Each structure stands twice: as C-alpha cells, then as structure tokens.
Amino acid sequence: MEDKQFELRKLKLKELEAMGIDPYANGFTPEHTTKELVSIHASKSPEELEEIEDVFSLAGRVVSKRDFGKSAFFHLSDRTGKIQVFIQKNSVDEKTFALFRKLLDIGDFTGVRGELFKTRTGELTVRVRELFFLTKTLRPLPEKWHGLQDVETRYRQRYLDLIANQRTREIFQRRSKVINLIRRFFDERDFLEVETPMLHPIAGGAAAKPFVTHHNALDMDLYMRIAPELYLKRLVIGGLERVYELGRMFRNEGVSTKHNPEFTMVEFYQAYATYDDLMDLIEDLVSYVVNNTVGNTLVEYEDKKIDFSRPWKRVNIYETLREEFGPSIIEDDKFLFSKADSMRINHNGIRGKALTEIFEALVEETLVNPTFVYGFPLDVSPLARKNDSDPEVVDRFELYIYGREIANAFSELNDPIDQKKRFMDQVEMKKKGEEEYHEMDNDYVSALEYGMPPTAGAGIGIDRLVMLLTNSSSIREVIFFPHLRS
C-alpha cells in the first residue's frame, strides 16, 4: 500500500465535501491570538474565569489531540504560541462533534469560538462552542515528542521544521529582531538606508569569486554582487554622507558550516569618520544588538562563554607577529616566506598575504571574546586608505568573535590616482593566479575623481552574528533555505 495515511486523509477530505463542508473554507477571522489569551487570562483563578462570559475566537493548526469519546482536548497553535482547547459532546452541536471525532486530524487548521476555563491541572483552556474546519491536511506531521530531527528534511522542508521544532522558530524570530535592531541603530544615527544594484558589470568591493549571469537584451555578462561597497561610496561622493545597505551577497565559493553561497551583510559608510571611529560605532552597534536580544554580556556559545563586556580588545597584527617571531618576520622577506612555507601557507610571494595568513593561523582561534584586529598590509587591502605613519599598512580592522571574522572596516581610500594604481597592482596579481583579486574599475576611479570626502566604512556579516546570538553551530541553522544539492 502506497502511503496509507495520505490515502486515508484524502478519503476524509471527500467525506467533508460530501457533507457540504468546504475543507479549504475562507472567511473565518480570529479575533484573538493564543498569546493574548494566555498572557491576559492564565493568571486568573478558575472562579474569576467563570465570571468572564466573553466568547473568544482563535484559529490555528491542531498540533495534538487527546480523545475521550464524549469529550476531547487538543492544542491549537498559531504564530504566537499555543493554547489548549476542550470539546464536549454536549457543548457543541451533534454534527460538529461527530465531524471533530471522525474527520479532524492533527495538522488540520480550525477556527474555534468559545469561553475560557481552567482544567483541574490549572491549564487555561478554551471550551468550544463552535468549530470550523479551515484547512484539511493530507500529510501527517512529524512526531510530537522528538520533533523533526533529520537535518536534511529540516533544511529542505523548513516548514516542517518550523511546525515541529520550537527552537527553529525562536532562531528565526531572533534573526528578524537582529535585523530590525540594526536598522533602528543606523536610522537613529541619521544613516540613509539605500539599495544598490545586485547585478554588477564588474564584481568589485571584495576578494571573492562571483556568480556570472547574462542579460539577453543588452547581450552582456553580469555578476551577482559580492559586495555593495563601490556603489555605496559613489553615493557618499554624491553627498549622502551616511548610508547603509542591508542585503544579500553572492559568492561562488565552497559551502560549509560558515559559508552559504548567498548571505546577508550590512555595509555602511560615514563621511568624516575614521576607522577608529568605526571601532567605537561597531562596538556600540553589536552591544546594542546583544543587549536587546540575549540581554546579557555573557553569551553562551557552544562550549564557551563569549564576554561582550566593554571595552573590547584591540590588537595590532604587526606587533603581535613581532612579539611572536621577532623583528625579522617584518623586516626580512626570506624569513617571512620560509616561515609561511613551513606553516603551509599559500602566499604566492605576496608579503601582505603571508603576514595576514600567518597571523590568522596563529591567533584567530584564540580570539573568542570580541577583538578588533588592525594594521592590515596594503597589498591585501586595495580599497583602504594608507596609514599616515606607515605606508605599508592601511587604516583597516577586522572584528573577530569566537575566532570568526564578523566585521571588516577601514578608512576609505579617496585618492583617485592611488586607487587607480592599486587596481593596476591587483590586476597584476590576478595575472599571477590570484583569482579573487580585484579587476580594474575605471568607472569607480572616475567617480573618485569628483571627490569623496574622508570616509570610513564597514561590512558586518549578519548570518554569523545571528549564529553567535542563537548558539547555532551551522550557518544553515540561521538561513531558512540553505543551499543543498538537488
């Protein structure tokens, strides 16, 4: 027999229709939510509830059922939570009761009207006077006690995960909250939320492999954006001074517990600010988000507690390397590259790459509490402003939490002549096999020629931040529909 439960439910559907009941009826409007009823009435005594003669109406999915023959309990689940419902043979009309017993399955949607009371065990419950079939479900729901465990099913059929696992709902509610808080934070500081193209003629603003697509009418290849950076800075040139964009980025690279081909980032730019200012601003922002979600500066994540209390540590890459390996690591290229080779680091003869990669290999995973890492080499930072006292270094930092890069920020390079030269250097290195290096972007250089005020900007990875704030070990837990092979 092929899927007996499915066939049986289809028979029930036909039976409903035969009785003149629309199994997909419209028109029932619930006047209350489960949460409203629970928060207002759960604390009342049975006697107090007795005196309330109001009739309440609710709609939701039946998620459990306990049948006693002449009466039954079930739980109704809506977006806000769930509440118990009690139906008795003599509290509704005969037809409704028969329908309920014979044709209502766990998973079906119903609307109910009735008054509140408390059971012997003290649970707030709705006594049904009227019951409406709203939607017949043809497939059985995952099991009530263990929920849905199979990760593949959880990702591919996220709706089942959301029905069965309360934690999944909470993760995505928190994600939504985080995004909301970030918007509020920037709006309050007079940043303008903007939207820039997702289809780029040149994939710029980051070191990453893009997705390629094609526009038929224009007969041109386009790239899905890997970063909005160069467009946002054009807006600063245009005088908007403070802008942010929160949205999806696309990178054609491997998938892992920390990488999804599309991910969400907020990038923002502030004229007349420096990267130092942005350390403070990001500290403010992340603290604001942590405070309004987790509500504690100590955040439990996997086997550790992350301490978000301020101020956050700020460490210099060059100083750290000097302390660890002595001055030769900075001053002697031979020493540097042989060190890199011994650590099996792929540097391609690029000093800055070797230095940053050694640093990362050395300390990244020790940076559990939020830590700003600054003093990046010039040749891995083609869009960042040179440091005033050390021309090999740029005014750039990254924020690490739990060994992961959460944010990347710098004072922006606004010298068009230097920018053009940097692009040319990038193109050189791209020829040497550095696939992710930048292409020449003449259009962006000409924009800079019109003058960009001194500006600092940053990008923050939202998915990774949400992972930390929901104790999720995989990025797939915080993205509704993560990419899987089909």
Partner RNA sequence: GAGCCGUUAGCUCAGCUGGUAGAGCAACUGCCUUUUAAGCAGUGGGUCACAGGUUCGAAUCCUGUACGGCUCACCA
Residues 404-433 close enough to bind RNA by CB under 7 A: 404-406, 408
Q: How far is the CB of 164 from RNA (least distance, A)?
A: 7
What is the spatial distance between Cα 330 and Cα 332, in angstroms, rounded to a whole number?
Answer: 6
Q: Which is nearer to RNA, 153 or 274 (CB)?
A: 153
Asked whether position 166 contacts RNA by CB under 7 A, the answer is no
Residue 98's closest CA among 5, 8, 15, 7? Answer: 15
Q: How far is the CB of 4 from RNA (least distance, A)?
A: 6
What 8-state DSSP symbol labels residue 191?
A: P
Candidate residues 121, 216, 342, 389; the one interacting with RNA per rule CB under 7 A: 121
Size of interface with RNA, in residues (CB under 7 A):
74
Q: Which 422-481 positions form the footprint of RNA (CB under 7 A)?
A: 436, 461, 463-464, 473-476
What is the spatial distance between Cα 308 and Cα 298, in angstroms, rounded to a whole number?
Answer: 6
Reduced DSSP (H G I as helix, E B as strand, rest coil) percent helix, strand, coil of the chain, to 5: 35, 25, 35
Stretch that binds RNA, among 31-39, 129-137, 235-243, 259-267 (CB under 7 A): 259-267
Q: Which 283-342 positions form the footprint of RNA (CB under 7 A)?
A: none
What is the spatial distance between Cα 429 and Cα 410, in angstroms, rounded to a whole number?
Answer: 22
Is the Cα torsion angle 420, 422, 424, 427 positive or negative in sign?
Answer: negative
Q: How far is the CB of 431 from RNA (least distance, A)?
A: 16
88 SS3 class: strand
Stretch that binds RNA, among 112-120, 279-287, 290-298, 324-332 (CB under 7 A): 112-120
Provide DSSP, 242-287: EEEEEEEEE--S--BTTB-SEEEEEEEEEET--HHHHHHHHHHHHH
Report CA-CA distances (Å) from 407 to 283, 292, 306: 11, 20, 17
Q: How far is the CB of 18 from RNA (least distance, A)?
A: 16
Q: How far is the CB of 375 from RNA (least distance, A)?
A: 17
Q: Do 361 and 329 contact (CB within 8 A), yes or no?
A: no
Q: How far is the CB of 8 from RNA (least distance, A)?
A: 5
Stretch that binds RNA, among 171-179, 266-274, 371-379, 402-410 (CB under 7 A): 402-410
Q: Which 134-153 positions form the footprint of RNA (CB under 7 A)?
A: 139-140, 142-153
Over the window 63 to 102, marking each residue x when it contacts RNA by CB under 7 A and - when it does not, the resulting string is -xxxxxxxx-x----------x-x-xxx------------
Q: Which is nearer to RNA, 188 or 435 (CB)?
A: 435
What is the spatial distance between Cα 336 and Cα 88, in angstroms, rounded to a whole number?
Answer: 80
Is the Cα torsion angle 338, 340, 346, 348 positive or negative in sign?
Answer: negative
Q: How far is the CB of 255 from RNA (least distance, A)?
A: 7
